[in-house]
Amino acid sequence: MALSETSLIERYFRGGGAQRADVTLGIGDDAAILAVPPGHELVACTDTLVTGVHFPHDSPAASIGHRALAVNLSDMAAMGARPAWALLALTLPQADEAWLAEFAAGFAALAREHRVALVGGDTTRGPLCISVQVLGLVPQGTALRRGGAQAGDVLCVSGTPGDAAAGLALEQRRLEAPAAARDYLRERFLLPTPRVALGERLRDFASACIDVSDGLLGDAGKLAQASGLACELEFEQLPLSDALRATLGMDDARRLALSGGDDYELCFAVPASRFAQLQAQLPAQRWGYARIGVLVPGGGARVTCRGSVMEFSHSGYQHFR
């Protein structure tokens, strides 16, 4: 590369996140040294974005930087963890400085918003691929898991699922949308909002939690399966954005809310006896979540509409073609 690996790291990544007192040793040595506060557990995750697979080849660099971190922060949120530190393994075809500056800015802005320090990484040459690890903290024994829901628990989702899948389809020109909806939907794909604050607060209420990355119905099904249960989603309770409804119409918007990927919302179960307290302490309007169904004995994930079970195929976005 024209730019040496060392100067690339110095220029674009050192200090490119929050400054934290618990970083004993950050970028520059063979590994980072991080101080875990007493009484806490370390929660660790990693996620990789490959060009052409997880984002279009022509995605804006700032969006790629944002998403590479956001998908990991979303995993932290699903565990109820507070993210603290990140590592960034970057594989680049060439050291394009304009691209790197934008990528690093997108990553750093989200990192600072969540007080996450970038403490290390790796830089290699090859087809564009970004792998991020995030380490976070929870008070001992309090992390949320996918398993743990009980039959009768209420199932909820944050945000308005389906928006990101429509945004990606718009990016790829597989979908048309009214002008007023277009920018909003594209941004839901390009700059997803990991629900970190909600995840942390849910430690006091949720019996199980998962982040929605592969489609709400499938991911709700994974939560149910991990809890040894089935889930039943009520079609007419699925929350929709005005933009998605205006673009697809009510029915197709709800189908996409069930099947579309890249939402990075939280799907969580709450004991029915705790639901009123959840609503009192975390008002649904302000925290942006909605009740969508219930956990029941058995297996699988069903969608019901006015009492009858819907036939739902997973090919939700075929109607874009």
In whole angstroms, the minimum distance from the beta carbon of 116 to ligand ADP comes to 12
Assign 245 to helix, strand or coil: helix
In whole angstroms, the minimum distance from the beta carbon of 29 to ligand ADP comes to 5
Closer by beta carbon to ligand ADP, 65 or else 136: 65
In whole angstroms, the minimum distance from the beta carbon of 137 to ligand ADP comes to 20
In whole angstroms, the minimum distance from the beta carbon of 71 to ligand ADP comes to 17
181 CB contacts (<8 Å, ≥6 apart)? 242, 243, 244, 246, 247
Assign 69 to helix, strand or coil: helix
Contact 184/52 with Cβ under 8 angstroms?
no
Contact 211/90 with Cβ under 8 angstroms?
no
Closer by beta carbon to Mg ion, 122 or else 251: 122
In whole angstroms, the minimum distance from the beta carbon of 59 to ligand ADP comes to 18
In whole angstroms, the minimum distance from the beta carbon of 12 to ligand ADP comes to 8
Place of tokens 């674009």: 12
What does 30 bind: Mg ion, ligand ADP, none (CB cut-off 5 to 8 Å by kind)?
A: ligand ADP
What does 258 bind: ligand ADP, Mg ion, none (CB cut-off 5 to 8 Å by kind)?
A: none
The sheet with strand 129-139 has its strands ordered as 40-50, 129-139, 82-92, 117-125
Residue 191: CB atoms within 10 A of its CB come to 18
What does 27 bind: ligand ADP, Mg ion, none (CB cut-off 5 to 8 Å by kind)?
A: ligand ADP
Type of residue found at 273: S
CA 27, CA 123: separation in Å to the nearest integer?
12
In whole angstroms, the minimum distance from the beta carbon of 50 to ligand ADP comes to 16
* Residue whose CB is nearest to Mg ion in the complex, by number: 122
Residues that bind ligand ADP (CB under 6 A): 5, 9, 13, 27-30, 88, 90, 118, 120-123
Residues that bind Mg ion (CB under 5 A): 122
Closer by beta carbon to Mg ion, 122 or else 176: 122
The whole-angstrom distance between residue 92's C-alpha and the CA centroid of its chain comes to 24
Closer by beta carbon to Mg ion, 122 or else 242: 122
What is the DSSP secondary-structure string of 183-216? HHHHHHHHS----HHHHHHHTTT-SEEEEESS-H
Closer by beta carbon to ligand ADP, 101 or else 296: 101
Closer by beta carbon to Mg ion, 130 or else 175: 130
What does 28 bind: ligand ADP, Mg ion, none (CB cut-off 5 to 8 Å by kind)?
A: ligand ADP
Contact 68/49 with Cβ under 8 angstroms?
yes
Closer by beta carbon to Mg ion, 100 or else 231: 100
What does 118 bind: Mg ion, ligand ADP, none (CB cut-off 5 to 8 Å by kind)?
A: ligand ADP
The DSSP bridge pattern shows strands 23-25 and 33-34 to be antiparallel
List of E strands, the chain: 23-25, 33-34, 40-50, 82-92, 117-125, 129-139, 154-158, 208-212, 230-234, 265-270, 289-296, 301-305, 308-309
What does 9 bind: ligand ADP, Mg ion, none (CB cut-off 5 to 8 Å by kind)?
A: ligand ADP
What does 123 bind: ligand ADP, Mg ion, none (CB cut-off 5 to 8 Å by kind)?
A: ligand ADP
